[in-house]
Amino acid sequence: MKKQIAFACALMSAAFNSMAAVTAEEAQELGKSLTSFGAIQAGNAEGSIPPYEGGLRTSPAGHKPDSGFWVDPFKDEKPLFRIDASNVEQYADKLSEGQKTLMKKYPDTWYMDVYPSHRTTAYPQEILDATVRNATGCTTQNDGLAVDPVCRGGLPFPIPKTGNEAMWNQQLRYKIGPGYSTTSSSNSWVVDSNGSVTKTAESVTFEEMPYYQIDQTDRDPTMYARVWAMDTYPARSAGQLIILADYLDPQTKPRRAWSYTPGMRRIKLAPEFAYDTPVPNQGGVNLFDELQMFSGSQDRFDYKLVGRKEMYIPYNAYRFYFGCEQQEQFMKNHANPACERWELHRVWEVEATLKPGQRHVYSKRTYYLDEDTFGIGLYDAWDQADALYRSLFLSGVQIYDKTIPYNVKNVSYDFNKNMYALVNDALKGGYRFHDKPKSERDMNPEAIVSMETQR
């Protein structure tokens, strides 16, 4: 085990100091000292992170297929210990600035219950095979701002060497399946500084990853993601629709965004739905490039791959997704910590610094990407005065009966306004995964508007 960890660490060191492509020798470690998706196969020396053994692929007793809800396989587990304001310094090296700030601001109410770590992530074999292939055949283009379309079908950079590659892994992570996911009632909530809870939107949503639909010949092969959301609440915005489509070379083909407002009865392009524009149906607490922690083009920041480290991140959050009642999730200043589950996992740390001459509300951002899913578990952002502005926590669950690592529900803390948002809550209606893609004819903006307004 020590040799495996040493070799993996050597790979990491090489990654931080080289811009070269992954060598055949490095790639040979995929499936050996590294998993097929590039995580360290072994557990840590203390045993608090287990070795990877294939992930969770078996449904626990009581699971009802296609119900939109998943039974918690760890519901009987008890926390190993609690981190709070009294012992935060003991664990400070494994906590984000946002976690430490919450404990400092709300010492009597916010805490982290730490549970046994489970490496539940599992992928279909064809995704693993494509990821291993990509290790030596996949490259970035445009100074890291684009990805070669040949990478489609698997994680592009299982052994990332740059911050851009790690962030592309996050954007291209496998999280939908071969078809698409939907919700009939995705809710966004905002809690202001007085503790008042407001549902800012209830939406019907659709999300797909054409990057993984390699047999769908009617798709643009350079499109990697497409999502839309139509509001059904509040009444003043019912029927309002936002559509986003992102491409592998956003400098040549930028994000295509559309909006539809019933009162205007027309679809219009919305190029402003990017970067630091606030998301309208999330109460302005999140920006468009913070959707699911990061979304859009990487051109305004320099991304540095700092390294791999151990952190306490939200994980196997079945209770948060499916177990806490909607109103139970909220406390005055933060989400209810009794609904959250924290585990120790290895993450990739990426530091983003605003490029000279570029404009953005943030000057610096730090992302912590789970090494097994490449989903960002923790994220901090600093304003132009170097004060911590926002922190986001993204929770995930393994969709065990469909072999999908899913992470979409998140909490966003705005320390400037002392308020927070809880986003992508589908406790009403659940999450649905569909195996077959829709045709491209059914996915143009006019067809989506027609389909949804006739519901």
E strand or H helix that includes residue 9: helix 2-17
pLDDT of residue 450: 83
pLDDT in tens, 182-193: 999 999 999 999
Confidence of residue 156 (pLDDT cuts 50, 70, 90): very high
pLDDT tens-digit series, residues 308-324: 999 999 999 999 999 99
Asked if pLDDT for residue 118 goes beyond 60, the answer is yes
State residue 13's pLDDT score: 40
Amino acid at residue number 75: K
pLDDT at 85 over 80: yes
Distance in angstroms (rounded) separating the CA atoms of residues 452 and 227: 14
* pLDDT of 10: 42
| Cβ-contact 282, 200 below 8 angstroms | yes
Specify the pLDDT at position 281: 78
Residue 244: closest CA among 199, 277, 195: 277
Could you tell me the two tokens for 300?
A: 């305004």
pLDDT of residue 267: 93
Closest to 354 measured CA to CA, from 386, 327, 326: 386
Q: Which residues neighbour 322 within 8 Å (Cβ) at sequence distance 6 or greater?
A: 69, 70, 72, 427, 430
Handedness of CA 104, 342, 322, 75 (dihedral sign): negative
Distances 335 to 55, 97, 146, 191, 195 between C-alpha atoms, Å = 28, 17, 36, 9, 11
- Over the stretch 344-402, which tens digit does the pLDDT of each residue have? 999 999 999 999 999 999 999 999 999 999 999 999 999 999 999 999 999 999 999 99
Question: Mean pLDDT across the chain, nearest whole number?
Answer: 93
Q: What is the pLDDT of residue 166?
A: 98
**Worst-scoring range by mean pLDDT, 37-41, 266-270, 357-361?**
266-270
Closest CA to 176 of 411, 438, 379: 438
The model's confidence at residue 455, banded by pLDDT at 50, 70 and 90, is low
For the cut 60, the answer to whether the pLDDT of residue 424 exceeds it is yes
197-246 pLDDT per residue, tens: 999 999 999 999 999 999 999 999 999 999 999 999 999 889 999 999 99
Whether the predicted pLDDT of 284 surpasses 90: no
Q: For 315-435, where are the E strands, in sequence order?
A: 342-354, 362-370, 376-383, 388-399, 404-414, 419-425, 431-434
Identify the three-state secondary structure at position 444: coil
pLDDT at residue 263 tops 60: yes
